[in-house]
A and B are shown apart, each in its own frame.
Chain A
Amino acid sequence: MTTLTDLTLAQARDGLRNKDFTARELTESYIAAMDKHRDLNAYITETPELALAQAAESDARLAKGDAGAMEGLPIGMKDLFCTEGVLTTAGSHILDGFKPPYESTVSARLKQAGAVLLGKTNLDEFAMGSSNETSYYGASKNPWKATGDDRDLVPGGSSGGSAAAVAARIAIAATGTDTGGSIRQPAAYCGITGIKPTYGRCSRWGIIAYASSLDQAGPMTRDVRDAAIMLGAMSGYDPKDSTSANLPVPDFEAALTGNIKGLRIGLPKEYRPEGLSPEIAALWDRGAQWLKDAGAEVVEISLPHTKYALATYYVIAPAECSSNLARYDGVRFGLRVEGSSLDEMYMKTRAAGFGTEVQRRIMMGTYVLSAGYYDAYYLKAQKVRALIAQDFRQAFEQVDVILAPTAPTPAFGMGENMADPITMYLNDVFTVPTSLAGLPGLSVPAGLSATGLPLGLQLIGKPFDEETVLRVGGVIEDAAGFTAKPTLA
C-alpha cells in the first residue's frame, strides 16, 4: 500500500471497517490531492468542509458498527446532480448561483449509504459534449498524456470531470450520467471503469435533464468491483420518477464470480466498419480471446441499424433538450439579463446563459419538432429508434452479452474536434446505440494505445442484467491486467 488515495473503493471500505485508518484521514488525503491537482479543473465546486463534517459522522457510525455500503468513502458528484444547499451549475452560465433546495434521489442515496462529498465535478454544459470542452467553467483536463507529448488531452465527456478525478486519484469514485456515452467514453479515455445501467435502474429525480428518454446515472470507478458496489448504492425504485423501474436491486458485487463458462458473447459485425482503427480492432479481438479463454462462446451477431444510431440520436436528444431547457428563462433561478419586455429578457438571458453547443442543440431540436418537420425528422427518428432496440432484442435471443469497443479512438487533444460538430459526434458511435435501446453498458480499461493512452472495451447487456455485464467485465479486467496509471497521479 502506497498512499490512501491509491486504494480502490472496496479496499478503502475494508480498511475503514478494519480501523486501519479513519474516514477523516482518508478524506484529508483526498482534499490534499485535490489541492495538488487543481489544474486538472476536474471540480467546479469543492466542498472540503462538508466532506470533513461528513467524514466525522462516518467515523462515528463506523465506530458504532453501523456503516453503510459507501461509509466514509470520498466521492465526486457530477455537477448535474442537484445537491441541497450546494451550488449546482450543470456546467452552464445560465444556472449562476443556483443552490437547489432539494437533493437528487441518487445523491441522497449515496449520502444515506455514508458517502462523503468532495465536490461537484466538471462536465460539458448540460452534459452536451464528448470532450468536457463546452463547460462554462473551462475544460477539465485528462490526467493522461501521450508518450513523449506534453499536449493536454480531453478527458472525454460529458462526465469528463468525474473521469479525470477518479483517474487522477482526487476522488475514490464519482457519479456520472450517460445520455449517449457520457459515462463510458470518458471512462475509456481516462482508463477507469464506468457503467451506464439500464434506463430506469437509477432515479432521474433531481438530475438536471438533458434528454429524458436517454439520461441515466451510473458510477465511475477504479475497477469493476467498485462499480458494482457503488451501483448498488445508487440504484433502486423511486416513486418520484415515473420511468424508474420497480425492481429489486441485486447484490451486484456478489455477481462478480469470475465464472463465465458457457456464456454466449456477441460481436456485432457492424461495429467493425471500414476505417476502424487497427489498434481498436486488435484490442477488441484480444478481448474476445480472453473471454473464449475463460470458457465463453463467442459468436458474430448483426445489429443492422447501427449505422443510423448517431443520426437518430442527434434528432431525439436535441428535440428533448430543446424542451427540457425551456425552463431556463431567467424567472425563477439562475442568470437573468434584463430586457424591456418579457421576450427580450428571455432572449438575452438565454443567449448569454447558454454556450454555443447548447444553443446549437436547442435550435436543432426546435427545428425537428416544428410544424412541417416533425414527421420527417422526429417521428422518423423514433421509428428508427424502435428498429435499433429491436436489433438488440433479436441479438439477445442468441447471446447473453455483447462485446464492443467503447470509443473509436483514444483521448484526443484539446481543441482538436471543436471546429466540426459532426466529427465530435462520431466519438459516440459505439455508445449511442446502447443508450437508444436503454440497455446497460460497461466500459472497462483493457489496454494502452501505441501512444500510451488507455483504451476501453464495452460490454452491453440485456435490460436489467447489469450482473452479467459486471461479471464479464470483471473477467476482461482480470485478463487485461490493466495497471497503468495516468502521468499525473
Chain B
Amino acid sequence: MSYIIKGNTGDWEVVIGLEVHAQVISNSKLFSGADTTFGAEPNSQVSFVDAGFPGMLPVINAKCVEQAVRTGLGLKAKINNRSVFARKNYFYADLPQGYQISQYELPIVGEGTLILDMPDGSTRAVGIERLHLEQDAGKSMHDQHPNKSLIDLNRSGVALMEIVSKPDMRTPEEAGAYLRKLRAILRYLGSCDGNMEEGSMRCDVNVSVRHPGEEFRTRCEIKNVNSVRFVMQAIEHEAARHVEVYESGGDIRQETRLFDPSRGETRSMRSKEQAHDYRYFPDPDLLPLEFDDAYVEAIRATLPELPDEKKERFISEYGITAYDATVLVMDQENSAFFETVAKGRDGKTAVAWVTTNLFGSLNKRGLSVSDSPVSATQLGQLIDLVADNTLSTRLAKDVFEIMMDEGKDPSVIVEERGMKQVTDTSAIEAACDQVIAANAEKADEVRNGKEKLVAWFVGQVMKATQGKANPAMLQEILKKKLLG
C-alpha cells in the first residue's frame, strides 16, 4: 500500500516516526509511594517528592522497572542490564522539580521491532528505537479563573514508558496500524491499559516528506495527539502542508505543532518556540539502574503468548486466514473467546461465527465481547447443533439471534420453540409434493428447462416447513421430483 502525494515537482513520500508515552500500570508512582489512580481530588495523590519540596529524594518503584522490561521483551527489544536516569531540565508550572527524571543516553530498553498487520493481510516491520522510563508531569487547568492557571500535581511522578519508533512508516494507515498493534501488545503484557481517551497512552507524531530515494528532510513534531484517527488525520494534513510549502519555494522549520481536531489541521505552538536546551545530566540522587540476566529471564518466563505468535498459531492450528487471525488477536478477550469456540471444532466455521455473526451483533448492540449475552461455550454448542444436523445454518442464525436476546443455551431454545430441522425424508417429500401440486404450471416450466425455478421451489418448501427442512435434502428431493 503506497501513499504518494502527487506534486508539481513530482511524487512525495511521507516519513513518519511515533513517540508514544504509555502510562505504566502500577499502584504507586515511579519515585514515590503516592497513588496513581485517575480522577482523584486535586493534590490528594501527591507526596512531597512529587511536589518537588526541598530535600525530597526519589526512590525507584520495582514494579515500574519490571513493566518496562516486560514491555521491552514484548517488543523483542534489547534489554539493557544497566541504564541511567538523567534529569531533563526545563521550567513549567506543572513540572515541580524544574526537571523531569527521564533516561537519556542509556535507556532501559534498546532497539526492537513491531510487526504491522495491514488490512490486506500483509505485514511490515517497524523498528523500535528505544524505550525508557520517565516521570509524568502534573496537570494545568486554564478555564477556572480569568487570569490564573491552576496546577494539580496528582499525575506528577506517575511512571511513563516513552516508546520511540524509527522513522519507518510511510502511510497514515501504517501509523494507525502501529498504534493499534502497540496498544494490543501493551494490553497483553498488562503494562499499560492503552486508553488514549483518558490519556494513559499519548502520541507525538514526527512527520516529514521527501521525494522517494532522497535523504530525510526536516521533520515537525505534532504533540499529544489523542486518538488513532486523529494521528492519521494529523499526518495527512501535516504531509500536505509540507508539500505545499516546498512546492511554493518555502522551507520547513523544525518545530513543535499542535493538532486541532475540530479543524483537522496542525498549527505551530508558539509558546514552545523559545529554544529548548534541556541540559540532560545523570541524576545524582539515583545510582545506575542495574539487574542481571536471571531477572530478565524470570520476567520472560511470565510473558503471555503475544499477538504475533498467537496469530501464527491461529493460522496453523485453526486454518483461518491471516486477516481473520489479525482481527482476533488484536484483543486478548476476543482471541480467548474464539479459542473456546474453535477448540475441537472446525476453525473456519468458528471464525465466521465469531467475527461475522457475534462481532456484528455485538457491534449493533454497542457491546464488547466481555458483555456478550452469548458465551463462547454457548456459541460452540450452537455450532455443534449445525454439525450434527439438528439445525441448518439458516436456522442456527435465527437461534443465534434469540440467544443474543435471551442468553439461553441453544438446545433450550431449539427445544422450546421446536426449531429442530426436519431430516425425515418422507416429511420433506410430502411437503415438496404439496408445493409441486399447488404450482403445477411452474413445475412444468422447470421440466421444460427453466431450471432456475428450482430455487423458487426450495424457497416455497422452506416457507412451508417454517425453514426447518434440511436444505441439502430438500434440494436433492426437489430435483429428483421435478427433473426426474
- Decide if A and B touch, CB cutoff 8 A: yes
- Inter-subunit contact A332/B287 (CB<8 Å): no
- Inter-subunit contact A366/B279 (CB<8 Å): yes
- Inter-subunit contact A370/B91 (CB<8 Å): no
- Inter-subunit contact A331/B93 (CB<8 Å): yes
- Report the Cα distance A323→B281, complex, angstroms: 9
Q: Which residues of B lie under 8 Å from residue A242 when comparing CB positions?
A: 57-60, 285-287
User: Among residues 81 to 109 in chain B, which have CB atoms less than 8 Å away from a CB atom of chain A?
Assistant: 87, 89, 91-93, 96-99
- Inter-subunit contact B284/A374 (CB<8 Å): no
A64 at the interface (CB under 8 A from B): no
At the interface, is chain B mostly helix, strand, loop or mixed? loop
Q: Which residues of A lie under 8 Å from residue B277 when comparing CB positions?
A: 370-371
- Inter-subunit contact A374/B281 (CB<8 Å): yes
Q: Which residues of B lie under 8 Å from residue A241 when comparing CB positions?
A: 57, 59
- Inter-subunit contact A369/B281 (CB<8 Å): yes
- Inter-subunit contact B55/A327 (CB<8 Å): no
- Inter-subunit contact B59/A239 (CB<8 Å): yes
- Inter-subunit contact B284/A82 (CB<8 Å): no
Interface stretch of the complex, out of B14-22, B45-53, B314-322? B45-53
User: Among residues 297 to 333 in chain A, which have CB atoms less than 8 Å away from a CB atom of chain B?
Assistant: 319-320, 322-323, 325-327, 329, 331-333
A204 at the interface (CB under 8 A from B): yes
B54 at the interface (CB under 8 A from A): yes
Q: Mark A238-268, 1 if CB is under 8 A from B, else 0.
A: 0111110000000000000000000000000
- Inter-subunit contact A329/B279 (CB<8 Å): no
- Report the Cα distance A374→B281, complex, angstroms: 9
- Report the Cα distance A370→B278, complex, angstroms: 8
- Inter-subunit contact B281/A240 (CB<8 Å): no
B115 at the interface (CB under 8 A from A): no
Interface stretch of the complex, out of A93-101, A228-236, A441-449, A455-463? A93-101
Q: Mark A55-98, 1 if CB is under 8 A from B, else 0.
A: 00000000000000000000000000110000010100001001
- Report the Cα distance A213→B91, complex, angstroms: 22
| Known A-B contacts A88-B54, A369-B281; A327 and B89 likewise in contact (beta carbons under 8 Å) | no
User: Among residues 264 to 287 in chain B, which have CB atoms less than 8 Å away from a CB atom of chain A?
Assistant: 277, 279-281, 284-287
B386 at the interface (CB under 8 A from A): no
- Report the Cα distance A346→B98, complex, angstroms: 11
Q: Which residues of A lie under 8 Å from residue B87 when comparing CB positions?
A: 323
Q: Mark B135-162, 1 if CB is under 8 A from A, else 0.
A: 0000000000000010100000000000
- Inter-subunit contact B91/A346 (CB<8 Å): yes
- Inter-subunit contact B91/A204 (CB<8 Å): no
Q: Which residues of B lie under 8 Å from residue A213 when comparing CB positions?
A: 284
Write the nearest CB–CB distance from A79 to chain B, whole angstroms: 11
In the complex, which residue of chain A has the Cβ closest to the Cβ of B279? Answer: A369
Q: Mark A327-344, 1 if CB is under 8 A from B, else 0.
A: 101011100000000110
- Report the Cα distance A467→B279, complex, angstroms: 40
- Inter-subunit contact A102/B48 (CB<8 Å): yes
- Report the Cα distance A333→B277, complex, angstroms: 26
- Inter-subunit contact A82/B279 (CB<8 Å): no
| Known A-B contacts A90-B54, A206-B55, A327-B97; A243 and B285 likewise in contact (beta carbons under 8 Å) | yes
- Report the Cα distance A394→B353, complex, angstroms: 75
In the complex, which residue of chain A has the Cβ closest to the Cβ of B285? Answer: A212
In the complex, which residue of chain A has the Cβ closest to the Cβ of B91? Answer: A346
Q: Which residues of A lie under 8 Å from residue B53 when comparing CB positions?
A: 100, 102, 327, 332-333
User: Among residues 1 to 51 in chain B, which have CB atoms less than 8 Å away from a CB atom of chain A?
Assistant: 48, 51
- Inter-subunit contact A331/B151 (CB<8 Å): yes
Q: Choose from B57, B91, B286 the contact partner of A240 (Cβ within 8 Å).
A: B57
A205 at the interface (CB under 8 A from B): yes
Q: Which residues of B lie under 8 Å from residue A327 when comparing CB positions?
A: 52-54, 96-98
A378 at the interface (CB under 8 A from B): yes
Q: Which residues of A lie under 8 Å from residue B56 when comparing CB positions?
A: 205-206
| Known A-B contacts A211-B284, A369-B281; A326 and B99 likewise in contact (beta carbons under 8 Å) | yes
- Inter-subunit contact B59/A240 (CB<8 Å): yes
In the complex, which residue of chain B has the Cβ closest to the Cβ of A345? Answer: B93
Q: Mark A164-200, 1 if CB is under 8 A from B, else 0.
A: 0000000000000000000000000000000000000
Count, chain A residues at interface, CB 8 A: 44
Write the nearest CB–CB distance from A355 to chain B, whole angstroms: 17
A113 at the interface (CB under 8 A from B): no
A207 at the interface (CB under 8 A from B): yes
Q: Choose from B51, B54, B279, B281 the contact partner of A98 (Cβ within 8 Å).
A: B54
- Report the Cα distance A410→B124, complex, angstroms: 73
A390 at the interface (CB under 8 A from B): no
Q: Which residues of B lie under 8 Å from residue A371 when comparing CB positions?
A: 277, 279
| Known A-B contacts A329-B91, A329-B98, A331-B93; A319 and B281 likewise in contact (beta carbons under 8 Å) | yes
Q: Mark A201-232, 1 if CB is under 8 A from B, else 0.
A: 00011111101110000000000000000000
- Report the Cα distance A242→B149, complex, angstroms: 34
- Inter-subunit contact B55/A209 (CB<8 Å): yes
- Inter-subunit contact B55/A343 (CB<8 Å): no
- Inter-subunit contact B89/A207 (CB<8 Å): no
A104 at the interface (CB under 8 A from B): yes
- Inter-subunit contact B55/A82 (CB<8 Å): yes
- Inter-subunit contact A378/B151 (CB<8 Å): no
Q: Which residues of B lie under 8 Å from residue A82 when comparing CB positions?
A: 54-55
- Report the Cα distance A343→B271, complex, angstroms: 11
Q: Which residues of B lie under 8 Å from residue A332 when comparing CB positions?
A: 51-53, 96
- Inter-subunit contact A370/B279 (CB<8 Å): yes
Q: Which residues of A lie under 8 Å from residue B89 when comparing CB positions?
A: 322-323, 326, 369
In the complex, which residue of chain A has the Cβ closest to the Cβ of B95? Answer: A326
- Report the Cα distance A163→B202, complex, angstroms: 53
- Report the Cα distance A147→B112, complex, angstroms: 73
Write the nearest CB–CB distance from B269 to chain A, whole angstroms: 15
User: Among residues 349 to 377 in chain B, which have CB atoms less than 8 Å away from a CB atom of chain A?
Assistant: none
| Known A-B contacts A243-B287, A326-B97, A371-B277; A207 and B55 likewise in contact (beta carbons under 8 Å) | yes
Write the nearest CB–CB distance from A198 to chain B, whole angstroms: 15
- Report the Cα distance A82→B53, complex, angstroms: 10
Q: Mark A144-157, 1 if CB is under 8 A from B, else 0.
A: 00000000000000
- Report the Cα distance A205→B96, complex, angstroms: 18
- Report the Cα distance A331→B93, complex, angstroms: 7
- Report the Cα distance A346→B99, complex, angstroms: 15
- Report the Cα distance A207→B54, complex, angstroms: 7
Write the nearest CB–CB distance from B360 to chain A, whole angstroms: 52
Which residue numbers of B lie inside 8 Å of A, CB to CB?
48, 51-60, 87, 89, 91-93, 96-99, 149, 151, 277, 279-281, 284-287
With A104-B55, A208-B54, A243-B287 given, can you name 14 additional A-B contacts, CB distance below 8 Å?
A95-B54, A100-B55, A102-B48, A206-B55, A212-B284, A213-B284, A243-B285, A319-B281, A320-B284, A323-B87, A323-B98, A323-B99, A325-B98, A327-B97
A-B contact pairs, 22 of them (CB 8 A): A81-B55, A82-B55, A90-B54, A204-B57, A206-B56, A239-B59, A240-B59, A242-B58, A243-B284, A243-B286, A323-B98, A325-B98, A326-B97, A327-B53, A327-B54, A331-B151, A333-B54, A343-B91, A369-B281, A370-B277, A374-B279, A374-B280
